[in-house]
Amino acid sequence: MKKTLGLAAAGAAAAVLCWGPAQAAEVKLKAASFLPRQVTFAKYFYRWADEVNKQCKGKVNLSVVGPAAVPSLKQWQALKSGVVDMHYGPPTYYSGVFPAGDVMSLAQNEAADQRANGAIKLLQAEHRKKLNAHYLTSMSQGVPFYLYTVKPIKNGKFTGFRMRSAPIYDQFIKELGANPVRMAPPAVRTALERKTVDGYGWPLWGVKSFGWAKFTKFRHGPGFFTATTGILVNQDKWKSLSGDQKKCLTDMAIWLEKEFPKWRAAEDAKEKKAQKAAGIKYVNMGPKFKQRAEEIHWATMAKGDAEFVKKIRPLLQKKK
């Protein structure tokens, strides 16, 4: 009898070991996207989430909600507190708690390069401290911002224009003589329709999918910054994942970093064609336009955390 009980106990122990953390049940993660699925920027995050669900089947399953469920500007708070497990959105939205986090909008290299040279490790450390988040990766590097208007500017100035803005280019817009107006992207169409704004700052992508193209007449460049959008995981949730689950998400982040430049090239061509068809004219403001925008933003980032900016800035430059 004792021998039989001993064998049974050994079998039970083996079963526990077999189905321990390495064989954890599939975890369901709720992610919040700052834009709805039909908008271009969000489309690629949903595409990645679908791929995660295929490649990490049995380990991780992502479900994504948009700003209708969690308002865009409050999603980082929902992530920090654990109301959602993941968040996809721009660092400028949480600049209040991580002022220097938006250095990513000034990156000149690809996310894959940032992983290789240690920039992502620095970002992970800061996101843990400031946002209770694990910085998984980012998207949208290389998609530049422009200033769009419904009417022509005079003498290269935006004097008196009311421009939909975000913290990332508030100061630049003020220097150009315009008045920045804060609003979430879904509200911009109504503002254009009612003529309560004269234009907006926005990247190359998404003007048509938001319904803004019919009101927009001019795109002012050269393009400046880069429309980086981070993919973050709540730090407590990240720590609770098994090794296999973390590895699968990290592997999918690396996969995305390699795939995204191809997606970007195709989308860039499509967006430029759509804007041209809508009658949006490109206005070249000269090289100082881009240079000044980026000088102002680097200075703003340094005020937020000079030591962090000094460390990471060289890691965000293109290889020579």
| Residue 186: predicted pLDDT | 84
pLDDT confidence of residue 11: 47
Q: Which CATH superfamily is domain 145-225+278-304 in?
A: Periplasmic binding protein-like II (3.40.190.10)
- 164/90 Cα distance (integer angstroms): 16
* Cβ neighbours of 194 (radius 10 Å): 8
Positions of CATH 3.40.190.10 in the chain:
145-225+278-304
For 259, what's the count of Cα atoms within 13 Å in the CB-facing half-sphere? 12
Find, among 54, 64, 104, the residue nearest to 85 by Cα. 64
pLDDT of residue 189: 95
**Could you identify the residue written with the tokens 């913290």?**
167
* pLDDT at site 95: 87
What dihedral do alpha carbons 221, 225, 231, 236 form, nearest 10°?
-140
Tell me which H or E stretch contains 189: helix 188-193
Return the pLDDT at 23.
Answer: 58
Please report which helix (H) or strand (E) contains residue 162, including its range. Answer: strand 162-165
pTM, full prediction: 0.84
pLDDT in tens, 240-278: 999 999 999 999 999 999 999 999 999 999 999 999 999
CATH (residue range 25-142+227-267): 3.40.190.170
CATH 3.40.190.170 residue window(s) in the chain: 25-142+227-267
Q: Tell me the average confidence (pLDDT) per consecutive run of 10 residues in the chain, 320 residues long.
A: 45 43 80 92 95 98 96 95 97 90 94 96 97 96 95 93 90 94 90 96 92 97 95 98 98 97 96 96 96 94 94 91
